[in-house]
Structure 1
Amino acid sequence: MELKRRGFLGVALVGASVLAAPAVLGSGRPRVVVVGGGSGGATAARHLAMQSGGAIDVTLVEPSRTYYTCYFSNLALGGVWSFDDLGHSYANLAAVHGINVVHDWAVGVDRDARTVTLAGGGVLPWDRLVLSPGIDFVDGAVPGWDVAAQGRMPHAYKGGTQAALLAAQVEGMREGGVFAMVAPPNPYRCPPGPYERISMVAHVLTQRNPTAKILLVDPKESFSKQALFEEGWQRHYPGMIERIDPLFGADNVSVDPEAMTVDIDGVIEQVDVCNVIPAQKAGRIAEVAGLTNDAGWVPVDPHTMKARADEAVFVLGDASQQGDMPKSGYSANSQAKVAVNVIRHELLDTRLFPARYSNTCWSLIAPDDGVKVGAAYDATDEKIATRDSFISQTGEDTDLRAATFAESIGWYRGITADMFG
């Protein structure tokens, strides 16, 4: 049930004509700088270059030379995929699409001068700026934990080496040991992600360390796909997973990385592995640009994905505060295509199409036991609002669950091809 590439790219308005109109901002090509090479940024850069026929000068700023998706990292953690399966190169964006790919950190944004400053000292001018920086963590969100402790208590909630570190820690657990997760409060990247991770850790422990226990410390009263996950945990991993919610002190948690303990409302738990996923906010460059609100996110116009604070800046994906869409790779990809349509219209005078958004989040509970949730959305003046939604049902048969997992693999191949060509 792999998704057809043509159907997946339909959201990108592939029916729209690709026009290479003269630049309207001066004698040279208009310049778009994209900061962040993930699902939002890479999609925006590729589609801007491809759909403009070279009429827009596109620069992508991304420090990593290989992009490792955070989504599907749980499958690698669970041994269903390898970590190499998550890695993707930016080579095609440069060689095939003519994008100027700059591997550096964006450290400054001057919205008046319309420039981006790089850590290496370079300065990039822009006519439109696209920020898709993902997430950063809220300082002090989990007392006792900061990024200096991520070697002992990994977050594994950004692409890269953290997920592999967490996997190694799980594999090295003592027999009958305890894996703990401190889950994040809302809002956060990938709502079902922590619970898929619990499922994949349980899958590994069931095979390697069946007397081990999993302690899920969750500050939320409820979570995405809760009934589906809890049904699956009971079916596949009975007695292994204990969830502690706010009623039992999960909203008052601290950790001690050196002692490897978790303090839950005064009750000290000794653990062998601890995955701390702190509260989140927009990636730092959004704050540096002066676009974030008191909650740490960037309010955007739902019709365009423009930052409310600056009509020349577009903010995509996890960093944006846009309404009902979850912070997911699918959402970022969908939002990027809306932004591309608007940017092309403004810079090349091409046709402007109404905003269309969609999202699906798949999760794997056990090998071949996949579930999903998703929706289609409308842009209103206030927010991106849910129009129609769907979710897997408890009690589904094994063939349907296996087909749902296969569908998720098709989506992954589709979106990564859409991002990197």
Structure 2
Amino acid sequence: MKLNRRQFVGASAGIAASTLAAPSLYAASHGGKPKVVVIGGGAGGATTARYINKDSDGAIDVTLVEPTRTYYTCFFSNLYIGGFRTIESLAHSYGGIASEGVNVVHDYAVGVDRDAKTVTLASGDTLMYDRLVMSPGIDFVDGAVPGWDVTAQNKMPHAYKAGSQSELLKAQIEAMPEGGTFAMVAPPNPYRCPPGPYERISMVAHLLKETNPTAKILIADPKEKFSKQGLFEEGWNTHYSGMIERIGPDFGGNNVEVNPDEMTLTIDGTVENVDVCNVIPAMKAGVICERAGLTDGNWAPVDGRTMVSRMDENVHILGDACAQGDMPKSGFSANSQAKVAAMAVRGALTDSKVFPAKFSNTCWSLIAPDDGVKVGAAYEANEEKIASVDSFISQTGEDAALRKATYEESVGWYEGITSDIFG
């Protein structure tokens, strides 16, 4: 089934929010419109801004803070590396959101004063809020991969923030010498898009099979197992036999260092000369969450019933940055959580009705042309966390027609969700 925009948005309409706090009668006590500031214009933040603005019918003043004028989705960026999409097809502007009435500010949020309820921008401007929504995505843990930091990202790209990093990594792969080696340092849990590194390996293998078939792929992985492992390993054996070697923790995949100047990868003391090295470090919530004092060290704990911070009842945190329970860090999850947060915010500020929080997520991956697989679940929130209540996953040995249909479904989903996020 190819999921189109209307089907996706219709299915998403059932995802509603709850709040256990009594709704605020803001207008009666303060006069004028309540103000909401949303930090981060990705799948979580942009969706929240759109839905608060749309569903409040202009009763709430919504400001979206996002530094980039063109947003490149991380989801589907691996398909660009594999040659299945153009970089332009991943690019989205904020014109649609602005035309709907959201105040879009292209700047960096550099500080939050939770007592004064203000957000400071890099320009020096200050924004006041009654409710703050934070969806800043991920940053990297300092020192997670010895020898690598963000100053080395041009020599050893992470490509886990899409756009120029994706273009750079693909260019490096295409420039590899005949029979060269592509290496990946995979991240430890938890991280953005659990199947993402392994879909990327599939797409790199597809590209090399066409352009450099004697090349090798080496994965240094600190995890004993990974998302969709059986599906990926089946696909690699079928489509890219002999090309891919994964070294897990039993053989030193958790003891890795790199030298970007020498282009070497050292695994448990053994030095490997490589031609391209994709370093995906350990991750944490976007740094603005840490500056606001809303993390447990790496992630921002929230109550999944409203996506409200466990440290501040006036701040909602969602998407990759939050620690919420069972949901993976994905674009679909962020979009789903955004609708819960938007309804909770609207209920608190306008005394409108809210509903019990329900969520869904599906992660599709492409292994080879028309060989798509997926994993997903439905979720409900309780006092402790967002909990999985029903799940599904593609099976090994599926026929080609089903795998093709799964891939086509993912293409339809992409068109639907990006329309839902950006208008």
TM-score (norm 2): 0.96
The 5 Å alignment of 1:338-377 reads 338-377=340-379
- Is the aligned partner of 1:78 residue 2:82? yes
Deviation at 1:7, TM superposition (A): 3.7
Spell out, residue by residue over 1:253-282, the C-alpha distance to the aligned partner (whole angstroms, 9 max, x if none): 000000000000000000000000000000
Counterpart contact for 2:220–2:253, Cα < 8 Å? yes
Measured against aligned partners, the alpha-carbon deviations of 1:173-201 in whole angstroms (never above 9, x if no partner) come to: 00000000000000000000000000000
Q: Distance in 2 between matches of 1:63 and 1:271?
A: 34
Partners in 1 of 2:16 and 2:146 — Cα distance? 51
Which residue matches 2:30? 26
Q: Distance in 1 between matches of 2:54 and 2:400?
A: 41
Task: Tell me how far 1:87 sits from its aligned partner.
Answer: 0.1
How far residue 380 of structure 1 moved from its aligned partner, in angstroms, is: 1.3
Q: Deviations over 1:369-412 (max 9, x none)?
A: 00000000111111111100000000001110000000001111
Where does 1:3-402 land on structure 2 (aligned, <5 Å)? 3-9=3-9, 10-13=11-14, 23-24=27-28, 26-95=30-99, 97-294=100-297, 296-402=298-404
Cα deviation for residue 27 of structure 1 reads 1.3
Tell me the distance in 2 between the aligned counterparts of 1:106 and 1:15: 28
Q: Give distance in 2, aligned partners of 1:189 and 1:29.
A: 35
Alignment partner of 1:311: what SS? coil
Counterpart Cα distance in 1 of 2:55 and 2:3: 22
1:85-143 per-position Cα deviation (integer Å, ceiling 9, x unaligned): 00001011112x11110000000000000000000010000000000000000000000
Is the Cα contact below 8 Å between 1:25 and 1:347 reproduced in 2?
A: no
Cα distance in structure 2, aligned partners of 1:15 and 1:381: 17
- Give the AA of the match of 1:102: V
Q: Assess, with a 3 A threshold, how the Cα gap between structure 1 residues 269 and 94 changes in structure 2: closer, same or farther.
A: same
Q: 2:22: which partner in 1?
A: none
Q: What is the alpha-carbon distance in structure 1 between the residues aligned to residue 349 and residue 336 of structure 2?
A: 20
SS in 2 for 1:310: coil
SS at match of 2:306: coil
CA contact (8 A) 1:23 1:29 kept: yes
Gaps of 5+ in 1: none
The change in CA–CA distance for 1:277 and 1:24 in structure 2 (over 3 A counts) is: farther
How many residue pairs get aligned? The number is 415
Q: Aligned with 2:380: secondary structure?
A: strand
Answer yes or no: is the 8 Å Cα contact 1:23–1:55 preserved in 2: no
Question: What is the one-letter code of the residue matched to 1:60?
Answer: L
Following TM superposition, by how much is the alpha carbon of 1:26 offset from its aligned partner in structure 2, in angstroms? 1.8
TM-score (norm 1): 0.97
2:94 maps to a residue whose letter is: Y
- Alignment check: 8 A CA contact 1:140 1:146 kept: yes
CA contact (8 A) 1:292 1:298 kept: yes
Separation in structure 2 between the aligned mates of residue 229 and residue 259 of structure 1, nearest angstrom: 31
- Matched to 2:333, the amino acid is S
Q: Distance in 2 between matches of 1:98 and 1:91?
A: 10
Q: Distance in 1 between matches of 2:261 and 2:4?
A: 49
Query: Contact 2:16/2:343 (CA < 8 Å) preserved in 1?
Result: no
Identify if the C-alpha distance between structure 1 residues 24 and 273 changes in structure 2 by more than 3 Å, giving closer, same or farther. Answer: farther
* Contact preservation (8 Å) 2:6, 2:416: no
Displacement of 1:22 in angstroms is 8.2
8 Å contact kept, 1:24–1:30? no
Distance 1:55 1:156 in 2: 39
Q: Is the 8 A contact 1:216 1:244 kept in 2?
A: yes
Quote the Cα distance in structure 1 between the aligned partners of 2:217 and 2:244. 5
User: Deviation above 6 Å: which 4+ runs of structure 1?
Assistant: none
Q: Is the 8 A contact 1:199 1:233 kept in 2?
A: yes
Distance 1:53 1:380 in 2: 29
Paired AA for residue 12 in structure 2? V
Q: Tell me, what secondary structure is at the counterpart of 2:30?
A: coil
- SS of residue matched to 1:191: coil
The offset of 1:15, in angstroms, is 9.5
Aligned-residue offset at 1:13: 4.2
Q: What letter is aligned with 1:123? A: T
